[in-house]
C-alpha cells in the first residue's frame, strides 16, 4: 500500500520593494525623488570658516599693498616710466608712420642697409601738450637746410662736420622745436644718410672729435640712466650733460643712432634743465626710430 505524501506548501514570496516614489502609473517613467532635506551645519564650524576667510582677505590686501609700493619705486627710477607728477610732459599718442607698400622695416634681415623707408618728417617726435612751436627751426615743409643744422655747433666744429656730412652722403634733415611754459626749449634733428655705416661715421665725427654745441663747451657723458632699460634694440644711445659752471642755462643733449638715421635731441632751460622731461623725450624718440 502506497503511503500518501503530505502536500508540499509553496515557499512564501519575499517582500516586494515599494514602487518608486512618487509612484508612476504603469508604462510611465518614474518621477524624480524629492530633494533630500538640507543638513544643518554646526554653527561653530561656520564661524571658524568665516574667521579664516577674513584673515586670508586681510593678508591678501596687505601683500598687494606692499607689492604695489615696491613696484612703484622701481618704476619711478626708470626713464620714461617715472611716477605721474614728477615733471613728465604730456605727449600725444606715439605711433610709427606706415611704410610704403612692400618696404621692409629698418632692421629686417633683408634690409642690409638698415634704411628707414618711412617719411623722415613723420619720424620726428611730436611736441607735447602746452608747447609753443619753434617755426624758425624748420619751415612749413618740415625739412631743414644743412647750414641751419651746422649752426647748432660751435664755429670751430662746423668745418669738420660739414665734410663728414658731404662724404657720408647726407640725404635729408628733418627737425622740430618747441618751448614749454616753464621756458624749457627743445630741438630735435633727424639726419638720414645713405647707409647705417655713414650714420655711425658721422656720430663718431661728433663724439670722437669733440664737436660741441653752441653754449655747451663743458659737457660730460651721462652713463647712469641710459643703462636702465631706456636703450632700444639695434640702436645706440649717447647722452651728455653740460657741467657747472654753465651760466644762465644748462644744456642737455642726446644722440640716437638707429640704422641710417642719426637723431640729436637738445634741451636747454634757465638754471638747471629738468632731467625727467629730457630723459622722457630721448627715450620716446629712440623708440620711434627703433
Percent over 90 (pLDDT), the chain: 53
Cα distance between residue 213 and residue 21, in whole Å: 98
pLDDT tier at 17 (50, 70, 90 boundaries)? very low
Give exposure, 164-184, as e/b (b: 16+ Cβ within 10 Å): bbeebebebbbbbbbbbeeeb
Q: State residue 141's pLDDT score.
A: 84
Q: State residue 98's pLDDT score.
A: 93
- Could you tell me which residues come within 8 angstroms of residue 220 by beta carbon, excluding any fewer than 6 positions away? 240, 241, 243
Alpha carbon separation from 198 to 51, 86, 208, 234, 258 (Å, rounded): 71, 38, 15, 16, 11
Q: State residue 225's pLDDT score.
A: 63
More confident residue, 143 or 231: 143
72-109 pLDDT per residue, tens = 333 334 344 445 577 899 999 989 999 999 999 999 99
Alpha helices in the chain (DSSP H): 43-76, 146-150, 155-167, 196-207, 275-289
Q: State residue 207's pLDDT score.
A: 85
Report whether 240 contacts 271 (CB < 8 A): no
pLDDT tier at 127 (50, 70, 90 boundaries)? very high
Q: State residue 42's pLDDT score.
A: 45
Mean local confidence (pLDDT), 128-133: 96
Instruction: State pTM to two decimals.
Output: 0.71
pLDDT tier at 208 (50, 70, 90 boundaries)? confident
Which helix H or strand E contains 175, and what residues bound it? strand 172-179
Cα dihedral 37, 42, 43, 47 sign: negative
43-58 pLDDT per residue, tens = 444 344 334 443 333 3
Mean local confidence (pLDDT), 12-36: 41
Q: State residue 35's pLDDT score.
A: 35
Cα distance between residue 266 and residue 281, in whole Å: 10
Based on the number of CB atoms within 10 Å of its own CB, is 14 exposed (0-12), middle (13-18) or buried (19 or more)? exposed
Q: State residue 244's pLDDT score.
A: 87
pLDDT tier at 230 (50, 70, 90 boundaries)? low
Alpha carbon separation from 251 to 69, 127, 214, 217 (Å, rounded): 34, 19, 9, 10
What the block records as the C-alpha cell of 93 is 599718442
6-16 pLDDT per residue, tens = 444 444 444 44
Looking at the predicted structure, is the pLDDT value of residue 249 above 50? yes
Query: Three-state SS for 48?
Result: helix
Q: State residue 84's pLDDT score.
A: 56
pLDDT tier at 148 (50, 70, 90 boundaries)? very high
Cα distance between residue 65 and residue 257, in whole Å: 41
Mean local confidence (pLDDT), 196-202: 95
Please state which of the ranges 181-185, 196-200, 206-210, 261-265 shows the lowest mean pLDDT.
206-210
Cα distance between residue 249 and residue 242, in whole Å: 9
Looking at the predicted structure, is the pLDDT value of residue 162 above 90? yes
Q: State residue 116's pLDDT score.
A: 96
Report whether 222 contacts 239 (CB < 8 A): yes
Q: State residue 50's pLDDT score.
A: 38
Based on the number of CB atoms within 10 Å of its own CB, is 59 exposed (0-12), middle (13-18) or buried (19 or more)? exposed
Please state which of the ranges 35-44, 119-128, 178-187 shows the lowest mean pLDDT.
35-44
Cα distance between residue 73 and residue 179, in whole Å: 30
Amino acid at each position: 500500500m502506497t503511503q500518501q505524501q503530505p502536500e508540499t506548501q509553496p515557499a512564501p514570496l519575499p517582500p516586494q520593494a515599494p514602487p518608486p516614489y512618487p509612484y508612476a502609473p504603469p508604462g510611465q517613467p518614474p518621477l524624480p525623488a524629492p530633494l533630500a532635506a538640507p543638513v544643518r551645519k554646526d554653527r561653530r564650524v561656520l564661524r571658524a570658516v568665516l574667521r579664516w576667510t577674513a584673515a586670508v582677505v586681510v593678508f591678501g590686501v596687505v601683500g598687494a599693498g606692499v607689492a604695489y609700493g615696491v613696484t612703484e619705486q622701481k618704476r619711478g627710477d626708470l626713464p620714461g616710466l617715472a611716477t605721474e607728477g614728477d615733471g613728465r610732459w604730456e605727449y600725444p599718442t606715439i605711433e610709427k608712420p606706415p611704410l610704403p607698400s612692400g618696404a621692409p622695416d629698418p632692421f629686417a634681415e633683408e634690409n642690409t642697409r638698415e634704411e628707414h623707408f618711412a617719411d623722415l618728417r613723420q619720424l620726428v617726435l611730436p611736441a607735447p601738450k602746452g608747447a609753443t612751436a619753434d617755426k624758425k627751426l624748420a619751415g612749413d615743409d618740415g625739412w631743414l637746410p644743412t647750414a641751419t643744422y651746422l649752426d647748432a655747433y660751435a664755429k670751430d666744429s662746423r668745418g669738420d662736420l660739414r665734410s663728414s656730412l658731404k662724404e657720408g652722403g647726407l640725404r635729408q634733415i628733418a627737425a622740430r622745436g618747441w618751448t614749454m611754459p616753464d621756458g624749457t626749449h627743445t630741438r630735435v634733428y633727424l639726419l638720414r644718410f645713405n647707409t647705417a655705416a655713414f650714420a655711425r661715421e658721422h656720430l663718431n665725427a661728433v663724439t670722437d672729435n669733440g664737436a660741441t654745441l653752441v653754449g655747451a663747451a663743458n659737457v660730460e657723458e651721462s652713463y647712469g640712466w641710459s643703462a636702465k632699460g631706456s636703450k632700444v634694440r639695434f640702436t645706440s644711445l649717447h647722452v651728455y650733460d653740460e657741467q657747472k659752471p654753465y651760466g644762465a642755462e644748462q644744456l642737455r643733449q642726446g644722440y640716437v643712432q638707429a640704422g641710417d638715421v642719426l637723431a640729436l635731441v637738445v634741451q636747454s632751460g634757465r638754471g638747471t634743465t629738468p632731467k625727467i622731461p629730457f630723459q622722457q623725450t630721448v627715450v620716446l624718440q629712440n623708440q620711434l626710430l627703433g
